Chain A
Amino acid sequence: MTSFTLTMKRIIFGIFIIAVMTLTAVFAPLVAPYDPLEMDLSPEGRLKPPSPEHFFGTDNLGRDVFSRMLYGARISLSVGFIAVIISVCIGILLGGLSGYYGGRVDALIMRFVEVMYCFPTFFLIMMVITFLGPSIVNVMVVIGLTSWPGLCRLVRAEFLSLRERDFVSSAKVQGIPDRRIIFRHILPNAMAPVYVSATLSVGAAILVESALSFLGLGVQIPRPSWGNILTAGKNYLDYAWWLTFFPGIAILLTVLSFNLVGEGLRELLDPRLRKRK
């Protein structure tokens, strides 16, 4: 099997899983068999193991775990996507400015990137979320604001080589304003590594969100997120394995899919790798 077909298989598998997750998340109200917040506190309704009525069992308050997972997917995926959109915007802007203008602008932005690189980022995220109060919006914004440095470097490197090309000189000679050259002329040619990095970052952002929820700093109960379903389940590890098992698998599978697509894209878009195929 050539590496090309292997890459394609990985990408298709990843996209398939992401599509399923996204669709079920979007249509959660239609798909979910139960109300995710509806409790059944009777002894026989609580902590029921997986069965045809409750695919993933019920939790300590008798809520249907499958329905909660569907609604939780909304949180995890939207945190992933929105955080990455924020970080891509910052990364492109700073990376573009840095690579296009060079000199002092570049030096300043790159020092800032280095500082962010060595930062104990998770510590900063924990601190900000604690102080601002845990909420889904805060989590998205803070993850987005702290995860752009890698992307910024990639964009800068692309800009550094692209700005020497003839079409840029020609645009400059025509008197096209810098803003337009950066965003209309150079940026479209610099997007390949951005797509790769952004796809991988979605997975990373979902992991950070779930870790925050695990520490009680993510989405607040009773709203379900994969992270907080898992956290609530950790006290029942001994007799209700399904409470921790399914959210964990969902996180793993989703992050894995984004990584497969991202790595696959990297291989398809990297000309060095393409030649060797």
Chain B
Amino acid sequence: MKYYIIKRLLLTIPMLIGISIIMFVVMHLAPGDPTSMRYGLNPEVSQGARANFNRMYGLDEPLHVQYGMWIKRLLTLDFGRSLIDDRPVIDKVASRLPATVLLQAVSILLIISIAIPLGAAGGLKRGSFFDKVTTVFVFVGYAMPTFWLALILIFIFGFKLGWLPVSGMTPWYADYLPFSAKAGDLAWHLVLPVVTTAFGGLAALSRYSRSSMIEVLREPYILTARAKGLSENRVVFVHALKNALLPIVTILGLTLPALISGSFIFETIFAWPGMGRLGYEAIMNYDYPVIMGVGVMATLLTLLGIFISDVLYAVVDPRIRLGGE
């Protein structure tokens, strides 16, 4: 088991390097650059000043040298400084990370707690009315433009009914509230972003739970369990569900990139002070170091999620655990 975990951890390093190289190359080969973004056609800024700006951030070096410099600093956890406000990238990302992690974690919990029972029940009672309703829900969920859903929810619950806050994470007066009220307020602000973030994943996961359940119910060991005269509850919950959940663990890891991708849209819509919005702003400003920082962080989160789901899979499935020794 230990060997398996170490092997998986080591595998993430080349992945990270590969992803950072692609991002670096794409970013630098694209037309436009931070200097002209910042000073544009401003005649007051001389060629010399522009060259100085480039030299200060190493933008005048050839691409591979710049990448080498970036990697070297990364080893000491130094992501460089933002080209816009000169703050260390690591601080900027770190100050935004908790909001994103909170949003994603709550969404994933919501997805798991709704989608698995929904899908499993549908698979169990295949062809029933309930199954048909959830199937329709899954198809619609897959096809839903989620930013549209976000708009509709904002309109109904934010403007028409006025029940839920539609933007931000903490209001300006949050500092004056006692802790319990603060937590309640945060939960209140979480509702709409979480619902929209979770919606797409919900459809995917419940579909997989359904087909996994159907698959498992066909297995000979279920027939054996029934033939032994076990109660239907025991057959379903102990023999079938447990085995049906196995592949779901992997699927959960695979939905993470989609969730992270979604965060770039939803955090912008809901003015959520997370990494996704930071990334969006950084792109708009050609803030190279921040773009790289956000990209690396988003990748790390994805790899971490996939790593956790792989390890969980090994924990629950002895075939993998023992095969890895």
Contact = CB atoms under 8 A, between A and B. Distances in A.
30 contacts: A111-B14, A115-B19, A115-B22, A119-B19, A122-B262, A123-B264, A123-B295, A124-B295, A126-B264, A126-B279, A126-B280, A127-B283, A131-B31, A132-B31, A203-B143, A207-B145, A210-B147, A211-B145, A214-B147, A230-B148, A237-B155, A247-B148, A248-B145, A248-B151, A248-B152, A252-B140, A252-B144, A252-B145, A252-B148, A256-B139
Contacts of A124: 22-23, 26, 295
Contacts of B265: 122, 211, 214-215
Contacts of A128: 26, 30
Q: Classify the interface of chain B: helix, strand, loop or mixed.
A: helix
A115 B15 contact: yes
In the A-B complex, the 6 residue pairs with the smallest Cβ-Cβ separation, listed nearest first, are A131-B30, A122-B261, A255-B143, A256-B143, A248-B148, A115-B18
B157 interface: no
A123 B277 CA distance: 11
A35 to B, nearest CB: 26
Interface string B6-39: 0000000011001100110011001110000000
Interface string A130-165: 111100000000000000000000000000000000
B126 to A, nearest CB: 9
A244 interface: yes
Given A112-B18, A211-B147, A256-B140, 6 more contacts: A122-B265, A126-B279, A127-B27, A207-B143, A237-B151, A259-B139
B122 to A, nearest CB: 14
Contacts of B145: 207, 210-211, 230, 248, 251-252, 255
A123 B159 contact: no
Contacts of A111: 14, 18
A44 interface: no
Interface residues of B, number: 44
Contacts of B190: none
B88 interface: no
Contacts of B142: 203, 255-256, 259
Contacts of A215: 265, 268, 280
A256 to B, nearest CB: 4
Most B CB atoms within 10 A — which of A117, A120, A252? A120
A262 to B, nearest CB: 10
Contact of B279 (A121, A123, A234, A259): A123
Contact of B298 (A120, A133, A237, A247): A120
A97 interface: no
Interface string A82-126: 000000000000000000000000000001101101111111101
Contacts of A114: 15
Contacts of B291: 127
B19 A118 contact: yes
A221 B302 CA distance: 35
Contacts of B268: 215
A118 B139 contact: no
Contacts of A118: 15, 19, 257, 299, 302-303, 306
Given A118-B299, A234-B151, A260-B139, A126 B31 contact: no
Interface string A226-259: 0000100010011000001001100111011001
Nearest to B30: A131
A252 B268 CA distance: 21
A145 B15 CA distance: 19
B140 A120 contact: no
B260 interface: yes
B191 to A, nearest CB: 19
B76 to A, nearest CB: 24
Nearest to A142: B26
Contacts of A234: 151
Interface string B256-276: 010011101100100000000
Contacts of B306: 118
Interface string A257-276: 00110010000000000000
Contacts of A255: 142-143, 145
A248 to B, nearest CB: 4
B284 interface: yes
Contacts of A244: 148, 151-152
Interface string B275-318: 00001100110100001001100110011001000000000000
Most A CB atoms within 10 A — which of B22, B148, B291, B295? B148
